[in-house]
Amino acid sequence: MALAGMLAFLATGIAAQCLRPDLDWMRVPNSFYLIGPWGGMVRAGYYAMALALALLGVGAYSELAPAARSAAPLLLFVMGGAALALTAIVTTDTWNHPPTLHGYVHGVAAQTAFLCTATAMLLQSWRLRGDARWRRWFRPAFPYAALCFVLLWVQAFWRALPRGLSQKALILLMLGWLLGAAWQLLRGHGEASA
């Protein structure tokens, strides 16, 4: 189910880029696709991804050996999912309009979703070392998660980057790790990975 939710998020995100030629995908952040035509479809994708994050956290926690488990990644995945759902519910501020409370809440929720998810990916990858079945997947998963974590901060502080392009690239990179983790969980073991 987590894998299906992630694929739904990816599909709605790609569809929104094609269905909204009025938005400049290089400049416009994903939040703008939640407003106007096809916004309901994009929100459905966000909700699917929110559920997928929680399910991934639960799945990883239950699959790892007891000695390798940690509640921290699980809680961070759940918090990331909840923040993503809130991001979809609360409307963002748009350019040329004064700031609003709902826009502020949307922004904080979006940043919380990114930060919680990237941190959960990093911590979950690190915990793979403690399970003999998953240890081989640690080698690709941890550096990939660390790269996503670093790029999250680069995207947050390097304001000269095109906002839409940099955000979408980060989302795709993080989604790559999440899809890989969900696929490994679906297979039910980590031995053949790496």
- Name the H helices within the chain: 2-19, 39-63, 71-89, 101-127, 135-157, 163-187
Give residue-wise pLDDT tens across range 24-82: 888 888 888 889 899 889 999 999 999 999 999 999 999 999 988 999 999 999 999 99
- The vertex-79 CA angle with 149 and 173, nearest 5°, equals 30
Distance, CA of 94 to CA of 103 (rounded, Å): 8
pTM for this prediction: 0.89
Residue (of 53, 80, 83) closest to 178 by Cα position: 53
108-122 pLDDT, tens per residue? 999 999 999 999 999
